[in-house]
Structure 1
Amino acid sequence: MIRITSAAVSARQPGARPRVDGLAQDVVQLRAENEQLQRAVVSHAVVDHAIGVLVAIGRISPRAGFTVLREVSQHTNTKLSLIAEQIITCTQAAALPGMILAELHAAFARRR
């Protein structure tokens, strides 16, 4: 995060132009951080939604739902957010890929 302190402001000479290159780099960095945070918020919402689906269909706790999601992700070597998206899509009448469905059943079985 970029912070401008009063010491940094007073260190400039009166009438001197601000360092445009430094400011431009700061803007680029802040935009990149903003985009990353926006993606994280969307991903978190998708994961939470998928956990809710798992809680409902597996009759497990939210904590166990996250564990199931994580295990399926690890056992299929697939990003957690992608697994979450596929689980949500499955609730909209699409079929889960066989490997993910098998791991999902195995993860539920480990919870019983």
Structure 2
Amino acid sequence: MSAPTATSPFLLSGAEGPLTIRTETRGSTAVLVPSGEIVHGCTTVLDPVLGKLPGGTDGLVLDMAEVTFMDTAGLQFLERLEDYSGLAGISLRTVNWTGQPRRILEITGLSVPATESDPAGPASDQPPPDTGRLLASLRSDQGLSAVAAERAEQVERLQEQVQQLEQAMASRPVIDQARGILMAVESCTADQAWDTLRDASQHANTKLRDVAEALVTVSTGGPAPTEPVRTALRDAVDRQQRRVS
């Protein structure tokens, strides 16, 4: 029969996102399961968790299965765990490195065992990475460069998302105007006008905003749309009319 499991969550809220650490007591082994990102300030979440570990704990396992990102603050996190285990005289190991944290270890040359089914008892013959080796690798220039590269990629993805949102917001007024024109001219609903614009965009292989802008421009006395856009709009209107008739 397995030992009862105790759970003690602590939450850190910050600009980088929350980090939660769940503790599970399995016999005399305490398993720490951080969830989220290990970033600046993470040790303020770890310290109270370590302070509440039950007496008689003789083993400490860091289960990384739920960690989605780790930057150079991961050094502080691992160092704090290593200091605690040294002072308490208990063993420390890490398991279940996945995703971005695992990629960092692989880039720095550390071999990582397959995901373990039970953090309290390794399922494979290959020993899990010890904290000393992890710290040495993460402190190396290669390790720090790997972490920096991962952070730069994440920032770039966020910047792309922001740019896409800004473009969508800038496009909304002209699209709404084009929908209004179609609703007035074709006596259709807002949804039908939207479907017509989207249909025309797909068949003309032109961005929806550009199709909408061409329609608004010609309705205010500007130049006519290009032939592909004009044809796509006419055909889209015909298809919409056939669907509702």
TM-score, length-normalised on structure 1? 0.70
> Superposition pairs for residues 10-89 of structure 1, below 5 Å?
10=43, 12=76, 21=148, 25=152, 26-89=154-217
Farther off after superposition, 27-36 or 75-84? 27-36
Structure with more helix by fraction: 1
Are the structure 2 counterparts of residues 27 and 74 from structure 1 closer, same or farther at C-alpha, using a change threshold of 3 Å?
Answer: closer
Are the structure 2 counterparts of residues 62 and 24 from structure 1 closer, same or farther at C-alpha, using a change threshold of 3 Å?
Answer: same
Question: Matches of 2:215 and 2:238 in 1, distance apart?
Answer: 17
Question: Matches of 2:220 and 2:187 in 1, distance apart?
Answer: 19
The amino acid of 1:70's aligned partner reads R
Report the CA distance between 1:33 and its aligned residue: 2.4
- Show structure 2 runs of 5+ residues with no match: 1-15, 22-37, 47-75, 81-143
- Show structure 1 runs of 5+ residues with no match: none
RMSD between aligned alpha carbons? Answer: 2.9
Structure showing greater Rg: 2
Secondary structure of the residue that 1:93 maps to in structure 2?
A: coil
Question: Matches of 2:150 and 2:17 in 1, distance apart?
Answer: 12
Structure with more strand by fraction: 2
Question: Matches of 1:69 and 1:24 in 2, distance apart?
Answer: 39
Are the structure 2 counterparts of residues 102 and 24 from structure 1 closer, same or farther at C-alpha, using a change threshold of 3 Å?
Answer: closer
The amino acid of 1:63's aligned partner reads D
State the aligned residue count. Answer: 107
- Matched residue, 1:105: 234
Q: Write the deviation string for residues 42-100 of structure 1: whole angstroms up to 9, x where unpaired.
A: 22333222211211122111111011112212222222222112112222212122332
Question: Matches of 2:232 and 2:183 in 1, distance apart?
Answer: 16
Are the structure 2 counterparts of residues 32 and 108 from structure 1 closer, same or farther at C-alpha, using a change threshold of 3 Å?
Answer: closer
Secondary structure of the residue that 1:3 maps to in structure 2?
A: coil
Question: Matches of 1:48 and 1:54 in 2, distance apart?
Answer: 10
